[in-house]
Amino acid sequence: MAKVTVDGITVEVPNGSNVLQACEAAGKEIPRFCYHERLSVAGNCRMCLVEIEKAPPKPFASCAYPVADGMVVHTDTPMVKAARRGVMEFLLINHPLDCPICDQGGECDLQDQSMGYGGDTSRYHENKRAVTNKDLGPLVKTVMTRCIHCTRCIRFSTEIAGVPEMGATARGESMEVGTYISKALSSELSGNLIDICPVGALTSKPYAFVARPWELKKTDSVDVLDAVGAAIRVDTRGSEVLRVLPRINEDVNEEWLADKSRFALDGLKRRRLDTPWVKREGKLARTTWPEAFAAIEAKLTGLSGDRIGAVAGNLCDAESMLALKHVMAALGSTNLDCRQDGAALDPSRREFFTFNTSIAGIEEADALIIIGSNPRHEAPLINARIRKRSLMGAFPIAHIGVAADLTYRHQYLGGTPQLLAGLRDGSNAFASVLRGAKKPMMIVGQGALARPDGAAILAACWALAAETGMLTPDWNGFNVLQTAAGRVAGLELGFATGKTLAQMLGGGVDLLWLLGADEFDAAAIGPNTFVVYQGHHGDRGAARADVILPGAAYTEKNGTYISTEGRVQRGALAVFPPGEAKEDWKILRAFSALIGKPLPYDNLEALRMCLVQENPLFDRLDILPHFGCSDTTGPVSVGAVGDALFEPAIENYYMTDPISRASPTMAACIEAQKHPKTPAESAMAAE
Amino acid sequence: MTEPTAFSFDAESQALVDGAIAKYPPGKQASAVLPLLDIAQRQIGRLTGSAWLPTVAMDEVGRVLDMPNIRVYEVATFYLMFNIKPVGHFHLQVCGTTPCWLRGSDEVARACREFTGIKGYGETSADGYFTLSEVECLGACVNAPVLQVNDDYYEDMNAPRVAELLTALKRGEHPLRGPMNGRQNSAPEGGPATLLTIPAE
């Protein structure tokens, strides 16, 4: 530890810290543009200048100057003030004064800091330089004249995203930040460039000219478009969700957010179910709530519980799944399934279906094997954490599955599950790497489990984990990477009993209640099965439905979700559901009253009490204790591991659920991926 | 000159590439990016008569050195010695820094423009022979003004000498590089000015 005095306040900071961190520890604000605590130090904006006693009499860039014991730093001397004002004047020489038409206005570091540290007038009368805009694809809009060359975007894409596509070309006054060859960014984390850009050079393309930050109502919530459970802030105006931004959660997403979670929100306004529908003479017709309920009730008459089934979708909150389970119980049915892809997830023990190491725990691991998964597409934020660990060094990674660029160096072993046998008997060279590691970990994807021999593969993976020292009382290195935000909560609530989805299809039940379930082939439902679709989008499930009950999307309800880690988190209502749509548990509560078996809760608090009674895990909000593994008994193995090659768990990263399928922005991302623009088209698009 | 669609080092270049990479420790091969870009540019010059670096050549350098393409682009665009646009057979580089400017670099540049028909810096003549660039100090200030043609310095230039030089180049000759006013290296113009007599003992 080093003792540093900042403006008379003495603080102790770890050796190797820089002066800027010491100043922050002392509670002093240091202006900066290029310095970012999660990126490497560039030291090129020169805004963080401070004065250091007994050092050469000049201002020092505090972000790039290491602390020393006994150092005395001043942040408010006349020299520091004059130096910062000078730097600000230089920065503003080539910066256009277009704040009134700039989307960064109101949340711009340059705007704020020029108010705080800049001069009051401009002394510059010469021509400013202008820079042509770049086309970075459908998500990031560029106004490159505003760029102050802090290089944060370059460092982010190189270091965090692992897709080195941004760079600074030419030099001096001709220097430009961009991709040189015009191409859309190929990262799933590109939206974060918008957040780290301290000026309005990189802004959100779909959000361009939409709103000012002070007009927005901000609601803290949690993301459900993958199973990571990233912390988000939903910005709304009136009844519209205008943008989604990440919140800091060091244990989950740090301060990043994946592109789908950030940009699929325009899907919330399209293809919405805002009124109940009933199928009459083969055609869906708008109707009222009482009539829709009556249609279901009529169908239920005389139906035995065994002929009724329910399927919960990937975006479902725990409250509505519990309410549906209770309704089903009232109808005498235990046919529940929340595994639409047919993944062989063993619900008997939490460790068999969660990411036990935890996301932050990845940084402790020292070897990794990925089986049947592409974390870059299934959970970009977990992939970023693996990359972060990979950059720290001494972290061998092997991959079995569909070969892919995972953004970090890894050894590709092959695509067949038969490789597991070689790893277990030690004939595969990577087996000794796993055995030699102190904290090895394994990630098993849905691509390995959603197949006929999934149960056998799960058991083989667990056995491999047990044999290679992944399961010890201090360390649990066995991880199942879920792709659906509602899956873990569903399994925790016992929403996987009775007939499976496959058994309910093809006439296995006479009434099928789909709670936002769209990720299976609806054509496989038997022709005589009466389908109730409760959800928020007119997607695959609604197209096959006989009755549609309009529900709420994740931004429109207070819901509890369990991430793939097993972390219980709550999303919050940011806007009300559109039209006649209602929060899902309320729909089920109302229906239960109609059939004469009212659910025992009338408000959210009572329902959440029920959740905790059902499973005490729901009381453990936001906290994730670090467990080892005390019981190495594996899941039940069924059959043998086949030799069919692994297939991707999700076909396309940008469209995995009803919201992203309805999103024009996500469609544009796919289009940009499939048909890259020619340089001429790109130049047109940039302007 | 259209953008080529493929590039690979030929046998002559490959020997140089191997030599350049061998100078650096294993794993630090990216240090050889400057020599490799130069080798690539010279190969293209040798084969097509226009020494420049198309994107495919930079991509090949990135592939050979196992570094991201954008890192190669950054280096290639930083140094003015790399031409990222096609140039003529003869790249005329007029030094415009103070000593050359005081000694008449404006006249040299004007003579280049008049002879080639080029309007401004960075352009290539219609016949494809000449590209005119302005460069910073070439380090030959004693013999200012200097006109660099490809790798050769032609010093002590003026308008008639430019016309004479460019005519000869266009004929396919290769005039002797160095001072164009007859002096030896950087000896004083018009012969020695000091030590004319050897003082008696």
Residues of chain B with a CB closer than 8 angstroms to some CB in chain A? 55, 68-71, 73-74, 77-78
CB contact under 8 A, A181 and B74: no
Ordered structural domains, chain B, with CATH: 11-78 (1.10.10), 90-179 (3.40.30.10)
Residues of chain B positioned with their CB less than 8 A from the CB of A169: 73-74, 77-78
CA B158 vs CA A634, B131, B144: distances in Å = 89, 18, 10
What pLDDT, on the 0 to 100 scale, is given for residue A215? 95
pLDDT in tens, A31-50: 999 999 999 999 999 999 99
pLDDT in tens, A499-555: 999 999 999 999 999 999 999 999 999 999 999 999 999 999 999 999 999 999 999
* CA distance, residue A163 to nearest chain B CA (Å): 9
pLDDT of A97 strictly over 70: yes
- Average pLDDT on B177-193 reads 88
CB contact under 8 A, B55 and A181: yes
Give dist(CA B39, CA B94) in Å, integer.
Answer: 23
Confidence of residue A71 (pLDDT cuts 50, 70, 90): very high
Residues of chain B positioned with their CB less than 8 A from the CB of A170: 77-78
* CA distance, residue B55 to nearest chain A CA (Å): 8
Q: Give the residue on A whose Cα is nearest the Cα of B67.
A: A164
CB contact under 8 A, A170 and B68: no
> Using H for helix, E for strand and C for coil, what is the string for A151-181?
CHHHHHHHHHCCCCCCEEECCHHHCEEECCC
User: Minimal CA–CA distance to A270: which of A553, A46, A532?
Assistant: A553
pLDDT of A183 strictly over 90: no
Residues of chain B positioned with their CB less than 8 A from the CB of A167: 70-71, 73-74
Residues of chain A positioned with their CB less than 8 A from the CB of B73: 167, 169, 180-181
CB contact under 8 A, B73 and A171: no
Give the side-chain half-sphere CA count within 13 A for B102. Answer: 6
Residues of chain B positioned with their CB less than 8 A from the CB of A172: none
Q: Which helix (H) or strand (E) holds A534?
A: strand A530-535
Q: Is A181 on the interface with B (CB under 8 A)?
A: yes
CB contact under 8 A, A169 and B74: yes
pLDDT in tens, A472-492: 999 999 999 999 999 999 999
pLDDT of A241 strictly over 80: yes
User: Minimal CA–CA distance to A321: which of A335, A344, A333, A338?
Assistant: A338
pTM of the model: 0.93
H helix runs in A427-551, sequence order: 429-436, 446-449, 454-467, 487-492, 501-504, 540-544
What pLDDT, on the 0 to 100 scale, is given for residue A58? 94
Residues of chain B positioned with their CB less than 8 A from the CB of A679: none
Residues of chain A positioned with their CB less than 8 A from the CB of B71: 164, 167
State CA A43 to chain mean position distance.
31
CA A383 vs CA A390, A423, A525, A657: distances in Å = 10, 23, 36, 20
pLDDT in tens, B122-132: 999 999 999 99
pLDDT in tens, A191-230: 999 999 999 999 999 999 999 999 999 999 999 999 999 9
Confidence of residue B1 (pLDDT cuts 50, 70, 90): low
Confidence of residue A320 (pLDDT cuts 50, 70, 90): very high
How many residues in chain A? Answer: 687
The average confidence (pLDDT) of chain A is 94
What pLDDT, on the 0 to 100 scale, is given for residue B136? 93
Q: Which helix (H) or strand (E) holds A96?
A: none
Q: Give the residue on A whose Cα is nearest the Cα of B71.
A: A167
* CA distance, residue B171 to nearest chain A CA (Å): 35
Query: Residue A656: CB partners within 8 Å, gap ≥ 6?
Result: A225, A226, A260, A314, A483, A519, A650
Residue B68 region, left (φ>0) first, then alpha (ψ -120 to 50), else beta? beta
Cβ burial of A44 (10 Å; 0-12, 13-18, 19+) is middle
What pLDDT, on the 0 to 100 scale, is given for residue A626? 78
Residues of chain A positioned with their CB less than 8 A from the CB of B68: 158, 164-165
Q: Lowest-confidence range among A563-567, A595-599, A628-632, B110-114?
A: A628-632
Query: Residue A681: CB partners within 8 Å, gap ≥ 6?
Result: none
CB contact under 8 A, B78 and A170: yes
CB nearest B77 (choices: A158, A169, A179):
A169
Upstream peptide bond of A347 is cis (omega within 30 degrees of 0): no
The average confidence (pLDDT) of chain B is 93
Confidence of residue A685 (pLDDT cuts 50, 70, 90): confident
Q: How many CB atoms lie within 10 A of CB A90?
A: 14
CB contact under 8 A, B70 and A171: no
Instruction: Please spell the DSSP secondary structure of A355-411, one letter per residue.
Output: BTT-TGGGGG-SEEEEES--HHHH-HHHHHHHHHHHHTS---EEEESS----SS--E
Structure tokens at A582: 């209602």
Q: Lowest-confidence range among A127-136, A219-228, A324-333, A673-682?
A: A673-682
What pLDDT, on the 0 to 100 scale, is given for residue A461? 96
CB contact under 8 A, A180 and B73: yes
Give dist(CA A140, CA B174) in Å, integer.
Answer: 53
Q: Give the residue on B whose Cα is nearest the Cα of A155.
A: B71
Give ipTM to 2 decimals: 0.90
Contact of A60 with A80, CB cutoff 8 Å: no
Tell me, what DSSP letter sits at residue A69? T
pLDDT of A249 strictly over 80: yes
Contact of A153 with A193, CB cutoff 8 Å: yes
Percent above pLDDT 90 for chain A: 92
* CA distance, residue A149 to nearest chain B CA (Å): 14
CB contact under 8 A, A164 and B71: yes
Strands, sheet with A530-535, edge to edge from the N-terminal-most edge strand: A283-286, A277-280, A547-550, A530-535, A511-515, A308-312, A336-337
Q: What angle do CA A398, A403, A404 make, to 5 degrees?
A: 95
What pLDDT, on the 0 to 100 scale, is given for residue A115? 93
pLDDT in tens, B51-86: 999 999 999 999 999 999 999 999 999 999 999 999
Q: How many CB atoms lie within 10 A of CB A637?
A: 18
Best of B69, B70, B81 to disrupt the A interface (most A CBs within 10 Å) is: B70
Give dist(CA A65, CA A81) in Å, integer.
Answer: 19
What pLDDT, on the 0 to 100 scale, is given for residue A295? 95
